[in-house]
Amino acid sequence: MAVKFIEDKKIFRLDAGSSVYVMQVRENGYLQHLYYGESVKDDDLEYVVSYYNWTPFHPKAYDSVNNKIFSTDIQPMEYSVNGTGDFRVSALSINSVCGSNATELKYKSHKIIDGKPKLEGLPATYLNEGDKAQTLEITMTDQFSGVEVKLYYTAFDSLNVITRHSVIQNNGNESVFINRAMSTCLDFYNCEDYDIIHLYGKWAKERQIERTPLLHGITNISSKRGSSSHYHNPFVALCNKTTIEDSGNVYGVNLIYSGNFAAEAEVQADESIRLIMGINPIDFSWKLEVGQSFTTPEAVMVFSANGIGEMSRTYHKLYNKNLCRGYWKDNKRPILINNWEATYFDFDDEKLEKIAKGASELGIEMLVMDDGWFTNRIGEFGGLGDWEVDTSKLKEGLSGLCKKINALGMKFGIWFEPEMVASNTKLYAEHPDWILHVGNRTRNLDRNQMVLDLSRNEVRDYLFQKISSILSNANISYIKWDFNRNLTEVGSAALPRDRQLETFHRYVLGLYELLERLHNAYPKLLLEGCSGGGGRFDPAMLYYSPQIWTSDNTDALDRCKIQYGSSLCYPASMTSAHVSASPCHQTHRASSFETRGNVAMAGSFGYELDLNLLCEEEKEIVKKQVKQYHEFYNCIHYGDYYRLVSPFENNYCAWNFVSESKDEAIIVFVVNRDGICSRYFIKPKGLDPNKKYKDEETGKVYYGDTLMRCGIKLNKQFNDLGSILIHLKSVD
C-alpha cells in the first residue's frame, strides 16, 4: 500500500518506490513534516523533531499535551502559512475578512484514494491501466476565514515519485484573495549542507546546468515573463555535497506549469532548509468568492539515493509513460525536414517542393513549412493573427502544396504562432481589446508583435476556429506551435480591477484549454511546442506536445550542453533536435555532418537545411543517419539515458542510451577542443554486466562489465568537434 495512516500517532506514511515520505498531525492540529528520503522501516519518526523550552524570537504556541513550547517557526511544517508565527518562506498566504494576510492551517480530516484524481483545468501526470498509486487528501482549515485547503499527495508504487498539489476552497462567508499558493513545500530538518542544481539560460542557450551551495537566506529561481522561459526552468534539485551522477541523495522538484513560477529555498541559521515551489506569487492574486476553489499546478518530486542520473531516469520514465499522451506517445514520429534555416521567409511552393523532393529521396518523412506562409508576413513584421494563406507564395493554396508533398510520400506540417497578433491584421483592427494590455498604457512590442488575451473565451474560440479551418483545408499532420515573446502590460479588458492580477494565470489556463480542445478534436495531429526555441520547455507543454523545439541554436557543440542540461529531467523523446547547415547560422562555427547527426540523434530527430545543396558524400551520410535513427528509435525514445562526461566540466562529453531489454546501447562521444589527445576511454553505463556486447562498427565483443569498468578505447585522432557514435548489440 502506498499510503498508510498510523491512527494512534496520527502519522501518514507514503511509500513511493524505494522512497518514503512521513508527516504527522500534532496534538495542536498542525501538520508537521517528519521525513522524506530513502525508505526506512519505522513509521514513528516523531523523535526527529525537537521541542524547545526557551526560544527567543520564535513565536510560540503552548503544546499542553507535551507540556512544551511549539513554534511553527522552528518546526518542519508540511504546508507553511504566512503571518502567524512561521517567518520562513510560506506556501500559502490568504488575504481574508479583515484584509490581513495572516493565515493558519489546522488538520480537519483526510481520505486515502486509490489511483490519482485529475487536476481541474491543469495538465498533470496520470495513471495507465495497471499502474498502481494511491493519493492522500488531507483537509486543513483556517478557522478565521473559513478557507479550506486540501493537500494532495500521490505516491507512485513502482517509481520514486510523489506528486503534490493543493486545492483552496472558500467555505467562509466573504470573498478572499489568495496571494500565494504554492504546489509543494519541503522542510529539511537534518542539518545537512545541500547544493542546489538548476537550469538557467537565455535565448539560444537554454537549460545550462548550475550547481551551487545553498547559502543562508533565500535562493530564488523563478520566472515572471508569463512563460516558464529560456531563463530559468521550473526545475530544481537539492542534493548533498557528495552527491554525483551515480551516488548520493538528490531531491528533484519539477513544476507542471508553463507560466510564472518560483522555487524558493531558504536556509536558516539552524541549518534547516525549506524548499517551496509553485506559481510565482509576484504579480499574482486570485479572488476566491464564497464556494469557489482554486487548484495549484502539480509539482513532481523525485527522490534518488543513487545520484542525479537515477533521478533523471525516473523523470524520463514518468514523463514518457505518465505525462505524454495520445497517438504520438507510442507511435513512431516522422523524421522531419523544416525549411526555416533553409529559406527563412524567402520561399514559395516550388522551392518547398524541391526541398521536400530532395529530402524524400534521402528518406525524410515529413516536410514542415515554417513561418511565412500567411498574408501580410513581411519578414518578422506583421501577419500574425489572420492566418490566411498567402497565395502569392503558395500559388495552388495550402491544399495544392500539401497534395504535392503527400504525393512524394511525405507528411506535411505547418507553423503557427496562435497566441500572437500583429498590428497590420484584420484581427487587431476589429478587436484591439483582445490584446493583453493595461488601459491606455503603450502596448510594448517584441518581435513586432502583441500577445492575445487567452484568458478570454472568445479569443480562444477564434483561434480554434482559425486553426481548424486551416487543418480542414489540407492534409496536415503536424503543427509547430511557436511563441516568440514574453508578456508585458499584463491586463485583461475582460476582468474587473480586483481580478487583474489573475491575468497571468488565466492566460496559462486559457492556453491549456485551447490545446486540450485541439488535442481532442485532432487526436492524430503531432504538436511540436516551441518558444523561440526552448523558451517554454516544461512538463506542462509536454502533456500537449510530445516534442518541443529545444533551442534555436543548432550548433552541435552548444547543443551538447543544451541537451545535456535538458536531460536532467526531460526525456530525449521530448527534445527535438535537427541537423542544420555548417557553418552554423547562429554561431558561425563549422562542424562535420557526422557530428551534427550524432548530437541531433539524442532527441526527436530531423533536418533543417536544404539537402539539395549537399555533395554526394554528405547525402550518403544523411541516408546512413536516417537508417540509424530508425534502428535506434526505441532505444533513444524509450530506453535509459546515462550522462557520462559533462560538457560543462570537460573538453569533451559523452552520453549513452540503453534499451529497456539491455540488448542494445548507443554511445555518443563529442570532442570540444581537445584535439591533440588521442587516447580516450569511454565507460558506458547501464549495460547488463553479464551480457556480451558487440561493437557493430569494429566487430569486437566484450562483456558488459568489462565495457563499463575498463571502458572502450577510442583509437582515433579526433579533431575539434570530432565525434563518434558506437552501437553495441548483445550477442550470445
Active site residues: 482, 552
For ligand DGJ, the closer CB: 261 or 415: 415
- Beta strands 575-580 and 547-549: pairing type? parallel
Report the nearest approach of ligand DGJ to the CB of residue 476 (Å): 16
Q: In what order do the strands lie in the sheet with 701-703?
A: 640-645, 652-658, 664-671, 723-731, 692-695, 701-703
Q: Please report whether residue 374 would count as binding ligand DGJ according to CB under 6 A.
A: no
Shortest separation between residue 529's beta carbon and ligand DGJ, angstroms:
10
Q: Which is nearer to ligand DGJ, 375 or 634 (CB)?
A: 375
Candidates 254-262, 510-518, 525-533, 592-600; binding stretch for ligand DGJ (CB under 6 A): 525-533
Nearer to ligand DGJ, 79 or 415 (CB): 415
Q: Of the two residues 315 and 415, which places its CB atom closer to ligand DGJ in the complex?
A: 415
CB of 530 to ligand DGJ, least distance (A): 5
Instruction: Give me the least distance between CB of 346 and ligand DGJ, in Å please.
Output: 13
CB of 140 to ligand DGJ, least distance (A): 43
Q: Which is nearer to ligand DGJ, 481 or 652 (CB)?
A: 481
Q: Taking Cα atoms as reference points, which of 637, 635, 606 lies closest to residue 622?
A: 606
Give the interface segment with ligand DGJ, choosing from 166-174, 213-221, 527-535, 561-569 (CB under 6 A): 527-535
* 419 binds ligand DGJ, rule: CB under 6 A: no
3-state secondary structure 207-263: EEEEEEECCCEEEEEEECCCCCCCCEEEEEEEEECCCCCCCECEEEEEEECCCCEEE
Q: Which residue is nearest to ligand DGJ (CB)?
A: 371
Binding mask 549-568 for ligand DGJ (x = CB under 6 A): x--x----------------
The yes or no reply on residue 170 touching ligand DGJ (CB under 6 A) is no
Q: Least distance from C-beta 616 to ligand DGJ, angstroms?
A: 29
Nearer to ligand DGJ, 538 or 594 (CB): 538
What is Dmax (Cα atoms) for the chain?
85
- Told to check if 512 binds ligand DGJ by CB under 6 A, we report no
Nearest CB to ligand DGJ, comparing residues 497 and 588: 588
SS3 content of the chain, % helix, strand, coil (to 5): 25, 35, 45
DSSP assigned state of 228: S
For residue 466, give the C-alpha cell: 482559425
Cβ atoms of 480 and 530 closer than 8 Å:
yes
Q: In the beta sheet, which residues pair with residue 724?
A: 669
The CA distances from residue 587 to 69, 206, 240, 417, 594, in Å, are 61, 15, 36, 25, 18
- ∠ CA 579-585-589, nearest 5°, is 85
**Closest CB to ligand DGJ among residues 151, 336:** 336
Instruction: For CA atoms 588, 593, 597, 599, give the dihedral sign.
Output: negative
* Dist CA 652 CA 662 (whole Å): 26
Decide: residue 397, CB within 10 A, 0-12 exposed, 13-18 middle, 19+ buried. middle
Taking the complex as a whole, the smallest distance from the CB of residue 573 to ligand DGJ amounts, in Å, to: 19
Answer yes or no: are the C-beta atoms of 70 and 61 closer than 8 Å: yes
Q: Which is nearer to ligand DGJ, 206 or 664 (CB)?
A: 206
The single-letter code of the amino acid at 256 is I
**Cell triple for 261:** 513560477
Write out the binding residues for ligand DGJ, residues 657-686 only, by CB under 6 A: none
Q: How far is the CB of 547 from ligand DGJ (least distance, A)?
A: 13
Q: Which residue has the cell 518530486?
A: 301
Instruction: For residue 371, state whether it binds ligand DGJ (rule: CB under 6 A).
Output: yes
Does the protein bind ligand DGJ through residue 528 (CB under 6 A)? no
Q: Which of 72, 169, 339, 484 binds ligand DGJ (CB under 6 A)?
A: 484
Helix/strand/coil (H/E/C) assignment for every residue in 507-524:
HHHHHHHHHHHHHHHCCC
Position among 234, 510, 532, 639 found at the interface with ligand DGJ (CB under 6 A):
532
At residue 530, what is the residue type? C
**How is residue 297 annotated by DSSP?**
P
**Cα atoms found within 13 Å of the Cα of residue 605, Cβ hemisphere only:** 25
- The residue within the footprint of ligand DGJ, chosen from 382, 385, 533, 722 (CB under 6 A), is 533
Query: At its nearest, how many Å lie between ligand DGJ and the CB of residue 466?
Result: 18
Residue 482 binding ligand DGJ, by CB under 6 A? yes
CB of 534 to ligand DGJ, least distance (A): 8
Which range of residues in 27-35, 196-204, 254-262, 528-536 is near ligand DGJ by CB under 6 A? 528-536
CB 75 within 8 A of CB 59: no
* Of 190-198, 322-330, 526-534, 668-676: span binding ligand DGJ (CB under 6 A): 526-534
603 binds ligand DGJ (CB under 6 A): no
How would you classify the pairing of strands 411-416 and 478-481? parallel
CA 657/CA 672 separation, integer angstroms:
21
Q: Could you say whether residue 304 binds ligand DGJ (CB under 6 A)? A: no
Positions in 311-340 near ligand DGJ (CB under 6 A): 340
Which of these ranges, 128-136, 260-268, 355-363, 530-538, lies near ligand DGJ under the rule CB under 6 A?
A: 530-538
Among 107, 251, 257, 415, binds ligand DGJ (CB under 6 A): 415
By the rule CB under 6 A, 206 interacts with ligand DGJ: no
Q: Phi-psi region for residue 401, left (φ > 0), alpha (ψ -120 to 50) or beta?
A: alpha
- Give the Cα-Cα-Cα angle 266, 272, 274 (nearest 5 degrees): 40
Task: Point out which span in 147-155, 384-392, 520-528, 529-537 binds ligand DGJ (CB under 6 A).
Answer: 529-537
Q: Are strands 3-6 and 273-279 parallel, antiparallel or unpaired?
A: unpaired
How far is the C-alpha of 142 from the C-alpha of 193, rounded, in Å? 34
Dihedral, CA of residue 467, residue 473, residue 475 and residue 479, to nearest 10:
-20
Give CA separation, 285 vs 280, 301, 439, 502, 505, in Å: 10, 25, 19, 6, 9
- How many of the chain's residues bind ligand DGJ (CB under 6 A)? 11
Q: Are 143 and 107 in contact (CB under 8 A)?
A: no
- Is residue 294 near ligand DGJ by the rule CB under 6 A? no
Closer residue to ligand DGJ in complex, CB, 415/434 = 415
CB 511 to ligand DGJ: min, Å: 17
Residue 386, interface with ligand DGJ (CB under 6 A)?
no
Residue 343 or 730: the one with the smaller Cβ distance to ligand DGJ is 343
Binding site residues, ligand DGJ, CB under 6 A: 340, 370-371, 415, 482, 484, 530, 532-533, 549, 552
